[in-house]
Structure 1
Amino acid sequence: MMVSSSSSSSSCFVVLSLAVLLQFLFVSASTKSIDAICQRVTDKAFCVKTLTAYPPAASASTRFQAAKAALSLGMSYAGKSAVYVAKAAKENPNLKKQFAGCKDAFTTIVYSLKSASMELKESPDTSNYDVMVCTDSTTIVKNLVGKNMDKASKTVMSMTLMMEKILAIAVGATLAVGG
């Protein structure tokens, strides 16, 4: 009976040790992937905080997976921004045309980031270009509502500034894959 208990203890220790080791290796891989992206971004602290809080990036085991996650984050944010702007257009008839233009700009960002994501493996340079042209869309939004003083326009401007920070991470991601 003693041998069985000792054997059971040893097995439990080995399994527990492996679990801890695998968790350490997994966290280490995702941290290295996130660091590889954030080294290429001006606001490194924001980049690390954002990607480590985003489960697909935090659980990425390769640089490629982390980059795909960063692009996915950008698509999600741009999509939610487009939905907000579409709602604001309905609620603000005087600014309907401007908000419609903003919605189109955010929708364009979504499509550009989808394209970048699809091209990432085969052509990181093309993927990088697709992300970088998204700044044209953020400039359009700024020109459409940047001078407005209403609450919805100010919210759209805040969203646009955040979008620019997320796009910087997406650029870093394509550079991290492309070298």
Structure 2
Amino acid sequence: MTSSSNCFFLGSLVVSLLLFLGSTSTMALTKDINSTCYRYSVDNSFVHNKTFCLQTLTAYPPAVSATNMVELVKVTLDLGSTQAKERAGFVAGLEKEPTFKKYFEMCSESYATIVNNFRGARLCMEDGAAGAAGASITILETYDDTQRVKDTIGKNTDKASKKLMEMTLVMEDFVAIANAAISVIF
């Protein structure tokens, strides 16, 4: 009888310890995600949409499984790169759109630069925290390209321009998330 109660006690202790360790790592992760989403962006305002940032990172498995802040930065850069590629693909599909022809080249170049900036920043982060300065500069340059797109198509009323404007505004949120994550370690 005594041995079965000891086994039950030890088993309960192990389960409790595992649950505690799991919640501790979740708290650290939540802290990193919260730190990212509440950091200042390039223009000294908070990340464009804190709720979007929190929902995006907590629902994105690679962000949730990041083991430290450097890994979280890499995840935000990979996520931004993926989003930029999708938008570049959308722009490429507008090449033959008659109402968009005069804007195509500039928007296409801007999104190609955005994709390259995310890739370049990610490469900088291969050096860990030491690469944060280079990654920060590269991501900050991305704001210029999103602004170029907004300035060029912002007042257009055609369907393609409106859709690209929406996509560009969300792209700025991904840029701000990456910038905020980098600034946590920089």
- TM-score, normalised to structure 2, is 0.83
Structure 2 counterpart of 1:96:
101
**2:51 alignment partner, one of 45, 48, 56:** 45
Taking the aligned partners of 2:13 and 2:104, their CA distance within structure 1 comes to: 60
Q: Which residue of 2 aligns with 1:10?
A: 9
Judge conservation of contact 1:124–1:174 (CA < 8 Å) in 2: yes
State how far apart, in whole Å, the 1-side matches of 2:174 and 2:155 are.
23
Cα deviation, residue 176, structure 1: 0.8
* CA distance, structure 2, for counterparts of residue 169 and residue 36 of structure 1: 11
Match for residue 141 of structure 1? 149
The equivalent residue for 1:110 is 115
Give, in whole Å, the separation in 1 of the partners of 2:77 and 2:38. Answer: 16
Secondary structure of the residue aligned to 1:133 is helix
Cα distance in 1 for residues equivalent to 2:54 and 2:81:
18
State the alpha-carbon separation in 1 of the partners of residues 9 and 98 from structure 2: 71
Cα RMSD over matched residues?
2.0
1:21 matched residue in structure 2: 20
Question: Amino acid of the residue matched to residue 64 of structure 2?
Answer: A
**Is the CA contact (8 Å cut-off) linking 2:99 and 2:158 kept in structure 1?**
no
Higher helix content, 1 or 2: 1
Q: Is 1:57 aligned with 2:54?
A: no
> Are residue 152 (structure 1) and residue 149 (structure 2) matched?
no
Q: Structure 2 counterpart of 1:55, which letter?
A: P
Q: Which residue matches 1:166?
A: 174
- Residues 100 and 160 of structure 2 are in contact (CA less than 8 Å); yes or no, is this contact kept in structure 1? no
Whether contact under 8 Å (1:27, 1:59) holds in the other structure is no
Which residue of 67, 77, 81 corresponds with 1:71?
77
Deviates more, 1:17-26 or 1:41-50: 41-50
Unaligned runs of 5+ in 1: none
* Matches of 1:26 and 1:151, distance apart in 2: 46
Greater than 4 Å deviation, 4+ residue runs: none
Q: State which of 92, 95, 113 in structure 2 corresponds to 1:86.
A: 92
Give the letter for the 2:28 counterpart. Answer: A
Per-residue deviation, 1:65: 1.1
- The sequence identity of aligned pairs, in percent, is 38
Q: Deviations over 1:103-162 (max 9, x none)?
A: 321121111111112213233122111000001111221133222211121110011111
Identify unmatched segments of 5+ residues in structure 2: 41-45
Instruction: Please tell me the residue identity of whatever aligns with 1:118.
Output: L
Number of residue pairs aligned between Structure 1 and Structure 2: 176
- Structure 1: how far apart are the matches of 2:115 and 2:175? 11
For 1:103 and 1:51, the matched residues in 2 are separated by 28
Higher normalized contact order (CA 8 Å, seq sep 6+, divided by chain length): 2
